[in-house]
Amino acid sequence: MISALPDFPWDSLAAYKQIASRHPGGIVDLSVGTPVDPTPLVVQEALAAASDAPGYPQTWGTPTLREAVAAWFARRRGVPDVDPDGVLPTIGSKELVAWLPTLLGLGSGDVVGIPAVAYPTYDVGARLAGARPVVVDGFAAYGPQTTATRPRLLWVNSPSNPTGQVLGVAHLAKVVAWARQNGVVVASDECYAELGWDGEPVPSILDPRVCGGSHEGLLAVYSLSKQSNLAGYRAAFAAGDPALVARLLEVRRHAGMIVPWPVQCAMVAALGDDGHVVEQRTRYASRREILRDALQRAGFRIDLSSAGLYLWATQGDGCWESLAWLADRGVLVAPGSFYGARGERHVRVALTATDERVASAAQRW
């Protein structure tokens, strides 16, 4: 039975959006991480070339796509041994986050572990399955396990949305060791992995230094929305344990949860072209520097934020006071309380606005 769902968080921003929209320079909306830059031409061309698609696509994804994902992991993430049989394209990553507990057969009495400051859909996904979401403050927070407290599924998010925190190899390795000792599936949301800002590669849960070369019980979740401006394509995938992927595939085939054929072809093009990723990362780096400096001049402190599309900022007051202060200056951001009680003194500031809008926001502060 589905647990009661929370109100959709962004609906509560309507009044602040109205205030920001009255600014003489117009609103600068930094509340949602939706890309604003063009989809790379190489991807557009691949989509167009595949537009004659009268037949049903493969739920599992074409062998070419699954091999492209495996090659991408080897080339970009330091994971040389992803089995193409352990790859599954998904209709965006939010869809998989929301339905993974259900696809894994979780239900009443089961626990889903989620981070203390986290993307709201981890909580929603547990509720959709009728399971119980429980905040896990570090993998060791559970201590000795009982069947009543042990999660069947544990979410890890690195780089974090909203904080931009990156979990290192040593921490992830401890998570994996603990999960295997307790029979827990670990799903690692890594959607911002190509957007690290401290010069160090962001490790994957599938990294051999983390998992010892075995992907048993592990799934990495990734989206091309952020690195390739493909949010409108709903192009994402899960990779890891082939046995887990087979379980997901069985349900998805019955439910018709299929990534369209042209999108699968576009994903192959995006995964094979690193140049546009570097170009987009450079755009975000410039916007990040401008917004970070402007926020700091305005009295905000930037915490964590070492990767991803957001700045995790605080004035020391409650998030709604900061939200109102920014809205009065024509800028809309997301309150940290959307992401859990520990976010109540922060706001999340997205880098996803045009150069002109970012410059306009910076001048207002």
- pLDDT tens digits for range 230-253: 999 999 999 999 999 999 999 999
Looking at residue 186, its pLDDT comes to 98
User: In a 3-state reduction of DSSP, which class is residue 326?
Assistant: helix
Does pLDDT of 13 surpass 50?
yes
Q: Give the pLDDT mean for 348-357.
A: 97
**Mind listing the pLDDT tens digit for each residue in 267-303?**
999 999 999 999 999 999 999 999 999 999 999 999 9
Does pLDDT of 218 surpass 90?
yes
Looking at residue 10, its pLDDT comes to 75
Please tell me the pTM assigned to this model: 0.93
DSSP-derived secondary structure for 113-153: EE-SS--THHHHHHHHTT-EEEE-SSGGGG-S--TTT--SE
**Mind listing the pLDDT tens digit for each residue in 20-71?**
999 999 999 999 999 999 999 999 999 999 999 999 999 999 999 999 999 9
For the CA atoms of 75, 79, 80, 83, what is the dihedral angle to 10 degrees?
-110
For the CA atoms of 340, 342, 345, 347, what is the dihedral angle to 10 degrees?
-50
Identify the sign of the CA torsion 35, 276, 235, 117.
negative
Question: Do the Cβ atoms of 27 and 356 come closer than 8 Å?
Answer: no
User: In a 3-state reduction of DSSP, which class is residue 166?
Assistant: coil
How many helices (H) and strands (E) in the chain?
A: 13, 13
CA distances from 212 to 67, 83, 181, 220, 308 (A): 22, 15, 14, 15, 26
Does pLDDT of 359 surpass 80?
yes
Looking at residue 142, its pLDDT comes to 45
Rounded Cα–Cα distance for residues 113 and 119 (Å)? 13
Domains of the chain: 9-38+276-364 (3.90.1150.10), 41-272 (3.40.640.10)
Percent of the chain with pLDDT over 90: 92
- 8-state DSSP, 338: G
- Strand 331-332 with 28-29, pairing: parallel
Place of tokens 């986290």: 118
Residue 5's nearest CA partner among 151, 169, 130, 186 is 130
Looking at residue 4, its pLDDT comes to 72
With cut-offs at 50, 70 and 90, classify the pLDDT of residue 5: confident
Rounded Cα–Cα distance for residues 297 and 142 (Å)? 41
**Mind listing the pLDDT tens digit for each residue in 116-165?**
999 999 999 999 999 999 998 765 444 545 555 789 999 999 999 999 99
Rounded Cα–Cα distance for residues 22 and 167 (Å)? 40
| Residue 241 identity | D
Rounded Cα–Cα distance for residues 347 and 313 (Å)? 5
User: In a 3-state reduction of DSSP, which class is residue 301?
Assistant: strand
Rounded Cα–Cα distance for residues 328 and 21 (Å)? 9
Identify the sign of the CA torsion 119, 314, 6, 231.
negative
Q: What's the chain's average pLDDT?
A: 94
Looking at residue 18, its pLDDT comes to 97
Rounded Cα–Cα distance for residues 266 and 259 (Å)? 11
Residue 116: how many other CB atoms lie within 10 Å = 14
Looking at residue 6, its pLDDT comes to 73
CA distances from 205 to 35, 64, 117, 138, 210 (A): 26, 23, 19, 15, 6
Burial of 80 (0-12, 13-18, 19+ CB in 10 A): middle
Q: Give the pLDDT mean for 165-182.
A: 96
Question: Do the Cβ atoms of 151 and 134 come closer than 8 Å?
Answer: yes
Please tell me the total number of residues recorded for the chain in this structure. Answer: 365
**Mind listing the pLDDT tens digit for each residue in 316-335?**
999 999 999 999 999 999 99
Would you call the peptide bond into 133 cis, given omega within 30 degrees of 0 as the criterion?
no
